[in-house]
A and B are shown apart, each in its own frame.
Chain A
Amino acid sequence: MKPILDAPSQRSPSSAFSLERAIVRLPVSNAVPASRQTLTRSRWWLWVGAACVVTLLVFVVCLGFGTQTISYSTIIAVIMGATTGPSMELGSSDPTSVILLQVRMPRVVLAFFVGGSLAMVGVALQALLRNPLADPFVIGISSGAALGAAIALLFGLGISVGSLSALPVCAFAGALLSLIIMYRISSAQYGFSVYTLLLAGVVLNAIFSAFIMFLTSIADPNQAFGMYAWLMGTLTGPDWPTLGILVLYLGAGLVILGIHAQSLNLLTLGEETARSLGVEVERVKKMVFLSAALLTGAVVSFSGIIGFVGLIIPHAVRLVVSADHRLLLPVAGLVGGMFLMLADTVARTALSPSEFPVGVITALVGGPIFLWLLTTRQTQLGMK
C-alpha cells in the first residue's frame, strides 16, 4: 500500500479546527464500518426491521399525546381490542377509544404516510436529478400539485366526481407538469448543475404561487381561508375510508419506486453510464417520474404543502445507513413517517387546545438544514 494513496493525509492540516466541519465529517469518516461495505440481505432485514419497530413505538407514543393524555396501556388495550375483538361496539361505547380510533389514529396514520411518501419521493428525485438538494417542495413539484388541487377545489371538480377522486388526479397532473418542466430545465444545460435546478425551483414556486394566490383572491372568503390553511400544510383528521383511498394511491407509487431501486442506484452514475450498465434509462425515468408525481399529487391533495421532509430525511439516512436505494428507500420512508408523526404531534399539542400547521415545523427544522448543507457541502454538490 502506498502512503500517497491514503486520503487522511490529504486533508489540509493548516486549516484551523472548525466545529462546523467536524460535525459534517463526523458521520462520514473516510471509511465506513466494514459491515457497511456492501448491502447484504441480513443487513437489509436488520435495518428495515429496526426501523419498523421504532416506527411502531413512535406511533404509540404519538397516540398518547393530545388534549387528553391517554396512557400507553390503554392505547395497546384499545388497539388489541379493535383488531381482534368486535371493534364497533367497543368503539362506540367508550369515549377514550372513540378519540383514539376515530380521531387521533387516522391523523397519526396520515402523518406517517405523508411523511414516508415525501421522504421516498425526495430519494427518487435526488437520484434522478443527481442532486442531493432535490425535494418535491424545493424544486416546485408540490406547488404544481397544489395548483392542480386548488383548481379542482375552486371549480368544484372535487365534488362532481365524488368528493375525492378528481382532487388527487388534478394534483397529480400539476405535479407531473412541474416535474417535466424541471427535468427539461435541468437536462437542457448539458450535464449537472445544482444552481440551475435550485433557481428554476424558486421561479417555478413563484409562478405556481402566483396562480394559487390569484385563485384564492377570486374565491369566496370562506373558501379562501380554508385554502390558506391547507396550503401551509396541515394534517386535519381524515376518516378511515378517505385514508384508504390515499393508501391506494401511495401504494401504487411506492411499489413502482421500490422495484426500480437498483436502477436508481445505477442512475446516480449518470444516464450514459447507467445505459452502458444495461438500464433502459428512458423507461425507468418515465416510471419514476410518474410515481413521484403520483405520490406528490396524492400527498399534497390530502395535506397541502409540507416542505423539506424529502430533503432532510434521505440525507440523514444516507449518512447513517446506506446510499444503496434498495435499503435507502424503505428506511427513508419509515424514518420520514416517524418524523412527520412526531412533528404533527408537536403541532397539535404544543399550543393546546389550538394547533398550528405541521408545515411550520418542517420548514423551521428543514430550512436551516438546507442552508447548512448548501454552505458546507459545496464541493460535494459540484458547486465548488
Chain B
Amino acid sequence: MVNDHMASNVAYALDHVSFSYSRGKHAESEEVLKELSCLILSGRVLGILGPNGSGKSTLLKLLARVLRPLTGTIDILGESLSSLSQLDVAKRVALVPQETLQVFPFTIAEMVLMGRSPHHQGWGGWHWEDAQDLAVAQTAMEELDVAHLGNRLVTEVSGGERQRAVIARALVQEPQILLLDEPTAFLDLHHQLDIARIIKRLNRERGLTVVLVSHDLNLASQYCDQVLMLNHGRLAAMGSPQTVMKPDVIETVYGCSVLVDRHPQSGRPRVSLPL
C-alpha cells in the first residue's frame, strides 16, 4: 500500500490494526482500536487526540510494541514491527510513559543511563556502561537541563524534573522516533511550555519523528504538524491542525460544542469552551 518512493518518509504504516485487551471470544466485542489504517510521516510531530478511552495510549503502546495488535500489521521505517526483536525496536523507538513511578532510590544519572541498555547485548542483559554511554547521557542531560541533578534521587526530585529526566532517558536510546504519552499532564504552565519547546526543538534540530498523545487541544494545535483524532477506537480525522480542529469535527468526537478561533501569534486554531 506504500509506494517505494514514499517509503523513505514514512515512519509508521498501519494497515487495518485492531487491538483488544481481552483475548479469545470476547476480543472482538471489546476492541479498543478498530481497523485503524494510516501513515505517520517521519520528521514530523504528530499529535494523537481524542476523548478518554478512545484508544490514544493503546495506539502509542502498539507503536512502541509494548503491546501487539490483535489483527492487522504495523510497519516501522519500512520494516515489519512484529519481525523485529524487542532490542531492535528499542534502538529505533523510545517511549516516554505518562507517569514514571519509582519506589527505589536510583539517582537521576542512573535512570538516564538505563536508556543505553538497548545498545548493549549482554548475557541476560548484563553490561557495563562505556565512555560513549556516559558521553551520550551527559549530552542528553544537558539538553534537558537535568545535568545538575545527576546525583539526586529519582524519588526526591519534583515531577517536572523527573519528566525531563525521563525524556533525557528516551534521548540516550538514540531513537529515530520519540513517543510521548501526555508529556505535560502533571506539569504546571511553566514546565508545560518548557517540555513543549524541547520537543519541538528536538524535532527541528535532529529530525526526530515525534508522536505525542495529548488531552490539550491547544498544545497539540501549536506544536504538531499533523493531528490524528480517535473516537471509540476508530480514526475520526487526520490532517493538519487547521483541517482537523474544526468545531463540527470536535463536536462529533468529544460530544460538546466549542468555539474555534485563531491563535494571535501563530494563526493556528485555538479551541475555547463556550459559556
Contacts and interface: CB of A to CB of B under 8 A. Distances in A.
A, B co-complexed: yes
Interface in A22-75: 28, 30-34, 36-39, 41
Interface in B60-108: 61, 64-66, 86-87, 89-91, 93-95, 97, 100-107
A32 B151 contact: yes
A102 interface: no
B176 interface: no
Interface residues of B, number: 51
Nearest to A262: B125
Contact of B97 (A28, A272, A318): A272
Interface string A258-279: 1111110110111011011111
Given A259-B124, A260-B124, A269 B64 contact: no
B126 A32 contact: no
Interface stretch (B113-121, B243-251, B262-270): B113-121
Contact of B107 (A1, A32, A266, A273): A32
A323 B113 CA distance: 14
Given A259-B124, A276-B93, A382-B103, A33 B151 contact: yes
Contacts of B61: 272
A276 B107 contact: no
A326 B126 contact: yes
Contact of A5 (B110, B125, B161): B161
**B114, B128, B157 — which one has the most chain A CB atoms within 10 A of its CB?**
B114
B103 A132 contact: yes
A323 B104 contact: yes
Contacts of A265: 106, 110, 114
A268 B102 contact: yes
Contacts of A39: 110, 129
A1 B142 CA distance: 12
**A1, A279, A382 — which one has the most chain B CB atoms within 10 A of its CB?**
A279
Contact of A7 (B90, B107, B152, B173): B152
A325 B109 CA distance: 15
A382 B160 contact: no
**B105, B115, B148, B157 — which one has the most chain A CB atoms within 10 A of its CB?**
B105
A278 B118 contact: yes
B127 interface: yes
Given A263-B125, A323-B105, A323-B106, A275 B66 contact: yes
Contacts of A324: 106, 110
A262 B107 contact: no
A7 B157 contact: yes
A207 interface: no
Contacts of A382: 101, 103
B153 interface: yes
Contacts of A10: 158
11 contacts: A5-B158, A5-B161, A28-B156, A36-B107, A132-B104, A260-B124, A262-B126, A265-B106, A284-B124, A284-B125, A380-B155
Interface of A: 1, 5, 7, 10, 28, 30-34, 36-39, 41, 126-127, 130-132, 192, 256, 258-263, 265-266, 268-270, 272-273, 275-280, 284, 287, 318-319, 322-324, 326, 380-382
Given A7-B152, A32-B151, A275-B64, 17 more contacts: A28-B156, A30-B156, A38-B109, A38-B113, A132-B104, A260-B125, A261-B126, A262-B117, A262-B122, A262-B126, A263-B125, A269-B111, A275-B65, A275-B66, A277-B115, A277-B117, A323-B110
